[in-house]
Structure 1
Amino acid sequence: MRRSLTALVQPLAGARGFSTSSEKVVASVLFERLPVVIPKIDPVVYAFQEFSFRWKQQYRRKYPDEFLDLSKSRGKGDYQIDYVPAPRITEADKTNDRKSLQRALDRRLYLVLYGNFHGAPSGKPVWHFPEKVYDSEETLRKCAESALKSVIGDLSNTYFVGNAPMGHMAIQQTENVPEPYKRFFFKSQVIDTNKFNIGKCEDFVWVTKDELLEFFPEQAEFFKKMIIS
């Protein structure tokens, strides 16, 4: 019995760790910048908070005006700083600069590239994510890391979320796709920077989820479910 098990295991030893199929596998990276500021409160939530505050005010304990006059009780040398928050709308928002990470500060942004990629019809440049065909990497995540590194040059300001892909899609063979393949998506996040030197592409943009769906109309329903923002 031991020999038969060994005979079954040995043929898999030289194969890919996660698949024995000859079908091509592509690792894609959903590279995102998390929100920088807290999103605005929904009008319905704001209205409820306002009502709740006013409701509590009618039952709160009332104190003498002398007790609440803090200006007279302020010690010598005390001072007050007028805090002015930074604007939520940046110059990049005003000019719709999609190459800047300094826009849509209350939303997640995703990197989309324009150029050639595996599976593009007739080798024509199209919009796509950073990706690479799995070849000899130790794991599929290593392949995804290599794909992102080839675009931004350095991974020191990135963080890959987990070792497993967040989703996958099977691309069927068609007139424009010469051979079927599977695309696995990994999530990576921007850490401690607001600028990357993007290379190995003809163009690139940083877009919100809603804007991203415009680039992939045929896969819009898939990305709606996979991307949580």
Structure 2
Amino acid sequence: MRRSLTALVQPLAGARGFSTSSGKVVASVLFERLPVVIPKIDPVVYAFQEFSFRWKQQYRRKYPDEFLDMSKSRGKGDYQIDYVPAPRITEADKTNDRKSLQRALDRRLYLLLCGNSHGAPSGKPVWHFPEKVYDSEETLRKCAESALKSVIGDLSNTYFVGNAPMGHMAIQQTENVPEPYKRFFFKSQVIDTNKFNIGKCEDFVWVTKDELLEFFPEQAEFFKKMIIS
């Protein structure tokens, strides 16, 4: 009989649950806002589409000019509304307001917090993802949900993608890390809102993948592979 993913990540459900004897387990949440507008077309793709259009124009059917000049055949009272699209560059982009979700509309944004983090030197605020040390939750995903809820206060505008973690890293014991531990990452997405009341931290930012890598230079290669955007 196949076991569900929930059963596979259940920490304390009997002997088959994973063991924390080798160190603590931390659940971190990669909280992302999906793109709001369609990303700009890559120049190579645009050039191909332009070439394809011009090629088809050579073989298109020719219609009389009278047939194509529809403006003269409009009935009385007909009118046309000129559509003006909303700007892709927002005020938050112009001021580089990283506390706003109304920026980088064609990119994914990720939430980072500044404050105390497990494994960081005591009393020193560092940038990290919403996190919680596993304690007594039913599953590790429940622990991740609790971590995000403690920061934003409500999960009604969030969606957790799957029950299993999207990746993990094993942190070895060092001079600054008194004991080894494992960090598991869960993905959650923003749903139907453009503002959260972020708490339990000294500061926060919403950043793109490229900006995120600047905060974690030592783990940049790991996050490049884990985060697909």
Could you say which TM-score interval applies, normalised by the shorter chain?
over 0.9
Partner Cα distance (1:69, 1:41) in 2: 31
Do 1:92 and 1:100's aligned partners in 2 also have CA atoms closer than 8 Å? yes
What TM-score do the two structures reach when normalised by structure 2? Answer: 0.92
Q: Secondary structure at the match of 2:3?
A: helix
- CA deviations 1:131-183 (Å, max 9, x no partner) are 00000000000000000000000000000000000000000000000000000
What's the offset of the Cα at 1:76? 3.0
Do 1:34 and 1:109's aligned partners in 2 also have CA atoms closer than 8 Å? yes
- CA deviations 1:91-125 (Å, max 9, x no partner) are 00000000000000000000000000111123311
- CA deviations 1:64-98 (Å, max 9, x no partner) are 00111111222333221100000000000000000
Higher helix share: 1
Partner Cα distance (2:64, 2:7) in 1: 89
Residue 82 (structure 2) aligns with: 82
* Structure 2: stretches of 5+ with no match in the other structure: none
What's the offset of the Cα at 1:204? 0.3
Over 3 Å counting, the alpha-carbon distance change for 1:62 and 1:34 in structure 2 is same
Over 3 Å counting, the alpha-carbon distance change for 1:14 and 1:84 in structure 2 is same
Over 3 Å counting, the alpha-carbon distance change for 1:101 and 1:62 in structure 2 is same
* Structure 1: stretches of 5+ with no match in the other structure: none
Partner Cα distance (2:96, 2:219) in 1: 25
Partner Cα distance (2:108, 2:6) in 1: 49
Over 3 Å counting, the alpha-carbon distance change for 1:209 and 1:10 in structure 2 is closer
Do 1:119 and 1:177's aligned partners in 2 also have CA atoms closer than 8 Å? yes
Residue 94 (structure 1) aligns with: 94
Q: Secondary structure at the match of 1:123?
A: coil
Q: Which segments of structure 1 move beyond 4 Å, counting only runs of 4 or more?
A: 1-16
Partner Cα distance (1:4, 1:170) in 2: 24
What's the offset of the Cα at 1:14? 5.3
Do 1:122 and 1:176's aligned partners in 2 also have CA atoms closer than 8 Å? no
Residue 133 (structure 1) aligns with: 133
Over 3 Å counting, the alpha-carbon distance change for 1:72 and 1:51 in structure 2 is same
Do 2:28 and 2:185's aligned partners in 1 also have CA atoms closer than 8 Å? yes
Deviating more after overlay: 9-18 vs 186-195: 9-18
Do 1:12 and 1:20's aligned partners in 2 also have CA atoms closer than 8 Å? no
Over 3 Å counting, the alpha-carbon distance change for 1:41 and 1:26 in structure 2 is same
Over 3 Å counting, the alpha-carbon distance change for 1:18 and 1:78 in structure 2 is farther
Do 1:101 and 1:195's aligned partners in 2 also have CA atoms closer than 8 Å? yes
What's the offset of the Cα at 1:203? 0.3
What's the offset of the Cα at 1:4? 26
Partner Cα distance (1:54, 1:8) in 2: 55
What's the offset of the Cα at 1:58? 1.4
Partner Cα distance (1:209, 1:93) in 2: 16
Larger radius of gyration: 1
Do 1:120 and 1:176's aligned partners in 2 also have CA atoms closer than 8 Å? yes
Residues matched between the structures, number? 229
